[in-house]
Amino acid sequence: MIEWNGEHSVGISVIDEKHKEFIDIINKVIVAKQHDNNPEKIEEVLREIIDYAWNHFRDEESYMVEFCYPEYQYHKEEHLDFVHRANSYFKIVTSGNYQILNEILEYLKRWLVNHIQGTDQKYVECFRKNGLK
Ligand SMILES: [Fe+2]
């Protein structure tokens, strides 16, 4: 299981709370994997991933627009890539291939490192300057 720690933090509480939810989702995938790939659980967690992505990315992006964040386009593309990927995983799973769970898990873990600990960190200065805490 993955535990939230300081390395995951962007230092802005409204965003950190959402990123904690992302870690909860990764942990649900880990549990689903341990419980012998129960199809309903896997579909449920994928729905949750897609739902989460839509909501959280929309929130981040609306801050970016509001604060005229210069790297908005690039950041948005990474989000879009995640959404596409999550949708295609969902299709694969609903077509009956549950072996994809390992790949999904690896992808989510990479997202945590590359996006949450990487790309997201870049907007922190801009968001803080605009009063987000
Ligand atoms: Fe982001």
CATH code, 88? 1.20.120.50
Q: How far is the CA of 125 from the centre of ligand 1 (A)?
A: 14
**Per-residue pLDDT tens over the stretch 18-61:** 999 999 999 999 998 888 667 888 899 999 999 999 999 999 99
pLDDT band at 103 (very low <50, low <70, confident <90, very high): very high
Is 131 within a domain?
yes
Q: What is the CA radius of gyration of the chain?
A: 15
Query: 15 in a domain, yes or no?
Result: no
- Residue 69 resides in a domain: yes
53 Cα–ligand 1 center, Å = 9
Residue 23 lies in a domain: no
pTM of the predicted model, to two decimals? 0.94
pLDDT of residue 42: 87
The CA 31 to ligand 1 mean position distance, Å, reads 25
82 C-alpha to ligand 1 centroid (Å): 10
In a domain, 73, yes or no: yes
Number of domain units in the chain: 1
Ligand 1 centroid vs 60 CA: distance in angstroms?
A: 6
Q: Among 35-44, 90-99, 122-131, whose mean pLDDT is lowest? A: 35-44
Domain that holds residue 100: 47-133
Q: How far is the CA of 88 from the centre of ligand 1 (A)?
A: 20
The answer on pLDDT for 97 being more than 90 is no
Residue 52 Cα to ligand 1 middle (Å): 12
DSSP labels for 11-39? S-HHHHHHHHHHHHHHHHHHHHHHTTT-H
Query: Averaged over 90-104, what is the pLDDT?
Result: 90
**Domain presence at residue 79:** yes
Q: Give 79 Cα–ligand 1 centroid separation in angstroms.
A: 6
**Domain contains 13:** no
pLDDT surpasses 80 at 87: yes
**Residue 65 lies inside a defined structural domain of this protein:** yes
Residue given tokens 């999904």 in the structure block: 104
